[in-house]
Structure 1
């Protein structure tokens, strides 16, 4: 699986197979700063046009993509090591949050592997953020990574290829440390401006081989800025097989640490490129096998967030979907769970100029609903707008229906003598 998080020359041009999202290319740090200034202007524009506005950003515009790939590789290796230890304790295949390693057995395994002596690992499992139950779950494990990376001694883990111990951070040098610092600084500037202007900041999801790093950096920003209210929203792509694990893991972290869980749920925009890359590089396709499975995943993730809203009121979700069935599902579950539109915990989003037959009735019924406005040069924005046709097989049927509804409304107004009212 680690092949997924390695640079591959054939996919250096990330435009390939991607018409559904804008793609940024790294030139230098000055260009990243220019992108940040553009995002700041977008935040200002959102603030001036509506209350409780949103602005979307992409981390590949703010950091070197190679850094995001390498950081993702580190995070995935660390998670893979956790699941290796879980398998040795007979817990292979369990849900992420149900997998709990017994500390004593884990210490013995680490000592046998030569990763750490019992005396060393004893210090790992006594931190203030660790569980007192005598077990370690994935969130505890990730907090170990946070602390261990600050130590001078390199953290060694077994290689998935050879079984030999290798430094976890072997491909993470001074340049990557600088990249980490710079991208977090840029996120900090954007988040502060968003708070100042009363705008919520959505961090878009991107290709799966960037996503572990993007999500981790977003969560770090949420930890700082979502204490009082949800300012930063993380995006989860429901066409990914790991979507539910990603949502539940991050939400559990927000519960433990007491910050607001802000999320945007989308289907995903990189399906063709993801599948082509997986086939060429020889790793498992990360995408759900069918359109129906993606819808099931979307509804499963959404239901989990809606139930959290009723429990704690410290979660918020944007249902970014053009799927009428998904919108109907959301409205039904909101009614069943007692979530009122005026609570402003659930909002909806569609692209400007698309699916107005969904957007306008939602707005008229009092639901918070937003139009996502792409901006930029025409030759870059038009391919973005073709996403509906390429990524959603029901697009043309819905477009025909929307056309029929528009003609019906025109005829009604003509007969009533108020065409322009």
Structure 2
């Protein structure tokens, strides 16, 4: 029998993590009755102008997210109603002076020109030659950098963070420095990081799926990505440097606010080869369960309704040629006495208590035979995998010491199953008393709802705090092109309307869970005003109060202030995703931000209209020299 070393490498990490549970499902449907969602966006239920109203007092901690800084604002109380006016420019921009408003207008307008966006790197290189590095840096701070980046280091960003806090908006800190390397260099690094040290191939050849292999054509995974920063593996020392950078970011967040977040990207902490291979293990393991369920006549049932009979499973696997007593897999577990298992029970088998690595084979339905999942790892590769978990564990402990919560960013679908699984293990350990670690769910994925509902069910069974950030997604063009070129199913929803529907469906499920037991938490990370209004409407229906700090809102720094600040002034926990870093080293991030804004600003004129409206109001009222007081 071929021995697979992937799972033991994970489970002997020595990172004080009980590696026992899994994160996702392919066919789960809601076990909680969820409010029906259609693809028609809900209408705003504001009954009158004048800002926001809700039926509870503001947070007692002035200057924190959702407190509105203890300032006047436009919040009034009515019974069982929460509403926010996103058209009142005075409240939306009271944290900005007139020069900041003018800068926003200029930057947004420039981002709408295709030529400038397409040639932004060449234009910036030319600007450096003409103005010199010092002059160019100053120009960027007055324009694009000043709009989208908070500052160069943890000291420089404090004034902005504290000002935003004074107006009710918190921060998710993200050190956004990236390597400025060519496409060829990026492709070379990607392929080298995925080269297997062991030349041994399993019997019958390589059974790896194309989706979970590195492809040189897509080695530069910055291409087609909007907003999300990107890391390339160099060596273990570089990963340690990334960890130290994240620690500094965590400490900066803790030192700047009492209720902050810090963003973490798993690909910065280890070799992507392991995330690819472990993702394939998880997906095939779940697919194996679905196959076994179909053999027992349960393929048409909901995922959590499918319960496999252990005796039948033993008989079937033996017929396929697998060896061993499969009852041993469940020895000492509650499933042994019941004689049946469901998807969550099945997923929990991948842990340190079983010799699952010796039996990690799956049936190839097309060939009618068993095949091993992966090649054998070398000792050094096993140690590298251990260090991914150890680094993540160090970050979580620093976050807890500094009173900071961690946001684990989502990444590409061929890496995400492993990232979600590792994040879930951290949540199981550290989210027992309060939400410390937030996982990210990309709702442009076809399986987003299944992933959310399975993870909520797991948290419900085990009694820890589910914590999620819901986004639409940042890798759409890259994912679609990669799937097309390599011949596997496109993981992305067919259109934007379907993605909106999926986002609201996932959001409604989590909101229902919050209403049921107050043990879940969600950040609505969206620039879509209709989605924010939908959230407020559902909170009204479910009786969820902003002061409970169960539902958060998030937008990017420099964008959608007309949503963020009215929410903050109204007492809602709202956060800006705050990038920072030296001017020259965040250029790759700013380049993609320009790409993202092109589409955003072409499709949304409202923000520019509100900015003009506020400037005109200030001119007419003699407030053009207005300076925010805090």
Do both share a fold (TM > 0.5)?
A: yes
Q: Distance in 1 between matches of 2:440 and 2:608?
A: 31
The residue number in structure 2 matching 1:110 is 317
The residue number in structure 1 matching 2:621 is 416
- Equivalent of 2:592, from 363, 368, 384? 384
How is 1:241-252 mapped onto 2 (pairs within 5 angstroms)?
241-252=446-457
Q: If the length of structure 1 is used for normalisation, what is the TM-score? A: 0.93
The residue number in structure 2 matching 1:139 is 344
Contact 2:320 2:369 in 1 (8 A): no
How is 1:18-417 mapped onto 2 (pairs within 5 angstroms)?
18-117=225-324, 120-128=325-333, 130=335, 133-147=338-352, 150=355, 153-159=358-364, 162-376=367-581, 377-386=585-594, 388-389=596-597, 395-398=601-604, 400-417=605-622
Contact 2:349 2:356 in 1 (8 A): no
Contact 1:129 1:140 in 2 (8 A): no
- Give the root-mean-square deviation of aligned CA atoms: 2.0
- Equivalent of 2:221, from 8, 11, 14? 14
Q: Distance in 2 between matches of 1:89 and 1:217?
A: 31
Q: Deviations over 1:131-159 (max 9, x none)?
A: 75433211111112225764573433223
Q: Distance in 1 between matches of 2:428 and 2:342?
A: 20
Q: Distance in 2 between matches of 1:93 and 1:233?
A: 32
Runs of 4+ in structure 1 off by over 6 angstroms are: none
**Cα distance 1:127–1:168, how it changes in 2: closer, same or farther (>3 A)?**
farther
In terms of mean alpha carbon deviation, does 67-76 or 92-101 score higher? 92-101
Contact 1:71 1:172 in 2 (8 A): no
How far is the alpha carbon of 1:243 from its aligned partner? Answer: 0.5
In terms of mean alpha carbon deviation, does 161-170 or 368-377 score higher? 161-170
Mark the structure with the bigger radius of gyration.
Answer: 2
**Cα distance 1:153–1:65, how it changes in 2: closer, same or farther (>3 A)?**
closer
Q: Distance in 2 between matches of 1:23 and 1:105?
A: 46
- How many residue pairs are counted as aligned between the two chains? 416
Q: Distance in 1 between matches of 2:222 and 2:209?
A: 23
The secondary structure found in structure 2 opposite 1:386 is helix
Higher relative contact order (CA 8 A, sep 6+): 2
How far is the alpha carbon of 1:300 from its aligned partner? Answer: 0.7
Q: Distance in 2 between matches of 1:35 and 1:131?
A: 44
Q: If the length of structure 2 is used for normalisation, what is the TM-score? A: 0.63
